[in-house]
Structure formats: C-alpha cells, structure tokens
Amino acid sequence: MRQGFVWPAAYEAVFSLEGLKALFTVLLISLDRLAALPTKLMISLLPVSPRRDRWPYRTILHRRASRTTILRRVFDKVFGSKRLSELRGDRPRLIIVACELRAKAAFYFTREKLHCWRYGSATSEDTSLADAVAASAAYPLALPALDTTVEFERNGTKRSDRISLTDGGVYDNLGLMPFWPDRDHSISLEVDPVYKLIACRAGYSLDVGEPSSLMPARMAAVFESIFARAQNASTTRLFDLQRAGRIGGFIMPYLGQDDARLSNKPDDFISGDTVAGYGTNFSAMDDEWIDRLSLRGEQLVVSLVSEHWPEIQAKN
C-alpha cells in the first residue's frame, strides 16, 4: 500500500516481457477484428446461415497478456508467488469473487477450489493468489478481463471452458452471494451457514458528479449507476432476510458512514469528514493515511457491533 500498484505496474509494462506480450497481443487481436469486418459483410450477402461461434464472428485469439496480467505480476511479487492451495486452513475462509462475463455469473476462488455454477468446479492447485486478486480487481472501465481456459468438473464430467473474468463488484460488490441462506449447494459454492453478517465497504456515499457530456464520461456514469443499483439490491435483500428471520442481523460499516447516527464512538474517533473523498484505489498511500483509514474502519465495526450486538462485545 505504501508503494501502491500504479507505478510498479507501469515499470512492469515497460521493462518486462509481459508488457511487450500485452502490446503484441492487443495489436494481433485488433488486426483479427479488422480482418473480420469485411469477411462478415461478405458472408451477410450470401444465402447461408453461418455459425456464430466461429471466426469471423468470434476471435480465435486469447488475450493472454494485457494490463491486467501486468498488474497480476505486481500482485504476485507482493504475495510471494503464493498459491491458493497454500493458504492456511486454520484461518477464516477466504472467498474471492470475480464476474465471469461469458456466463454472466459469479466466479469464486477459494483455497479448496474454483467454482462457477454455470461451469462447475476446478482445482485451485495451479491458481495463484495473484490470479484471484487480479481477476477480482479488474475494473472493466480501466482493465481488460482475464482471458484463460480452465478444466471444470460437473456431475462427474470434465470439460475445458474458456472464461473471461472481470471485477467481482460487477456481480456482487459486497461479496454476500455465498452466504444467502436459500442457495442450492448442489450447484453453488458450499459455505457453512452464517447467522450474523458484517459487510464492509471501502467506499463513500454517492455524490452528485459533473455533467456527462461526452461518451466516455457518460458511460462511466452509467456504469457507476448500475453498479450502485446492484449494491443497493444486495443491501435491500439483507433487510428482507433479517425481517424474515433468515439471518440474525447484519451491520455494514463503510468509510462514508454518517457519524451522527453512531451512538458508541471512541474518544479518538476518526470522523468521516477527515477521510472524505480520499481515493481507495491502486495509488500509493503514506503511513498517515493507511493508519487513518484502517483505524476508522476498525472503529466503525466496533461501534456498530457494540450498538447492535452488545452480547458479542460482552463475550470479548
């Protein structure tokens, strides 16, 4: 966090073979799509019904190198090339969420396996922690999807499928999907039942942005609107499940929390105004801001737990 990921990724892009591969790959795919345009036009003039799952309608090239794979190299150095299967089993279970664009479904990375209900499960032996983090962090307005092929097993049958993974927030930004009590575990990721939920969000409240006159700004605003709407739907479902007695309650700490609604603030409380608008992204952060943001997050959790679940705080 002190050095961030932007400049290390820029260094990798310029001075590593991955950067050259990424440039070559995007040029090759661009040429492929350029050649496909007149070919599709000529085919459209013929009295035939071509298959849409083949060239020229679908590129046969995989984007195996991109800005996202460059970022993955940076993550891999930070994590010491650790694989998912090497994560400790005596710690809370880590589930990293990505969005699979072909199936329009959630894709899960865990210590035990990879899983998507549309494809099945796959071993995590050859998957690095950096693979999972890069896929989950590949914000689609800035980073290409991770393009790879995985061998899945479903109902006793093995099959290799090409997958395209992007930011998990596109599908489930709060990471709540595995914990819904009505999930069918015959096809979905198996997770032990959880009665109380703490859903943390390193973000702020929605603000009123600048007018979106040009297409890039307009599309960014559209994406953020859809993103916020999906997150609101997850929050609404939490309230519905709580009212129905399906979960024992939840709290949702986030950096932009309204401090006036907190009843148990500590004396050294970091206010929302102190951190308002500070970017929580790939940029470098100095020690002061790392401490300030992490302390506010911790204080929000403790404050909300003591307010809503005093019996838990009493036990500790």
pLDDT digits (tens, 9 = 90+) for 262-275: 988 999 999 999 99
Are residues 289 and 2 in contact, defined by beta-carbon separation less than 8 angstroms?
A: no
Are residues 193 and 181 in contact, defined by beta-carbon separation less than 8 angstroms?
A: yes
Task: Decide which of 203 and 129 is more confident.
Answer: 129
- The predicted model gives 80-105 an average pLDDT of 96
Torsional sign, CA 241, 118, 142, 295: positive
What pLDDT does residue 315 have? 65
Which tokens go with 201? 């969000």
pTM: 0.90
* Residue pLDDT, tens place only, 2-32: 889 999 999 999 999 999 999 999 999 999 9
Task: Decide which of 68 and 312 is more confident.
Answer: 68
What pLDDT does residue 205 have? 65
* Residue pLDDT, tens place only, 189-222: 999 988 999 999 887 666 677 777 788 888 888 8
What pLDDT does residue 277 have? 81
Distant-in-sequence contacts of 85-88, Cβ < 8 A, 24+ apart = 85/111, 85/124, 85/125, 85/127, 87/111, 87/129
Are residues 303 and 264 in contact, defined by beta-carbon separation less than 8 angstroms?
A: yes
- The predicted model gives 56-72 an average pLDDT of 94
Are residues 83 and 130 in contact, defined by beta-carbon separation less than 8 angstroms?
A: no
Band of the pLDDT at 250, cuts 50, 70, 90? very high
Which tokens go with 64? 């195996």
Cα separation, 70 vs 140, whole angstroms: 15
Is the predicted pLDDT of residue 313 greater than 80, yes or no?
no
Instruction: For the beta carbon of residue 131, count every other beta carbon within 10 angstroms.
Output: 24
Instruction: For the beta carbon of residue 282, count every other beta carbon within 10 angstroms.
Output: 18
Is the predicted pLDDT of residue 68 greater than 90, yes or no?
yes
Cα separation, 185 vs 191, whole angstroms: 8
Is the predicted pLDDT of residue 152 greater than 80, yes or no?
yes
- The predicted model gives 291-296 an average pLDDT of 94
- Give the distance between the most distant pair of CA atoms in the chain: 77
**Closest among 259, 236, 240, 219 to 174, alpha carbons compared:** 236
What pLDDT does residue 143 have? 96
Contacts of 22 (CB under 8 A, 6+ apart): 13, 65, 66, 67, 69, 70
- Pairing assessment for the beta strands 120-123 and 196-198 based on DSSP bridges: unpaired
Asked if residue 266 has a cis previous peptide bond (ω within 30° of 0), the answer is no
% of residues, the chain, pLDDT over 70: 97
Domain boundaries, the chain: 3-168, 193-312
Is the predicted pLDDT of residue 144 greater than 80, yes or no?
yes
- The predicted model gives 119-125 an average pLDDT of 97
% of residues, the chain, pLDDT over 90: 69
What pLDDT does residue 10 have? 96
Contacts of 91 (CB under 8 A, 6+ apart): none
- The predicted model gives 284-302 an average pLDDT of 94
What pLDDT does residue 127 have? 97
E strand segments, the chain: 96-100, 105-109, 113-116, 120-123, 146-154, 157-167, 196-198, 249-251
* Residue pLDDT, tens place only, 36-56: 999 999 998 988 888 888 899
DSSP codes joined into one string, 15-73: HSHHHHHHHHHHHHHHHHHHHHHHHHHHHHTSS----TTSTTTS------SSHHHHHHH
Give the 3-state secondary structure percentages of the chain, helix then strand then coil, rounded to 5: 40, 15, 45
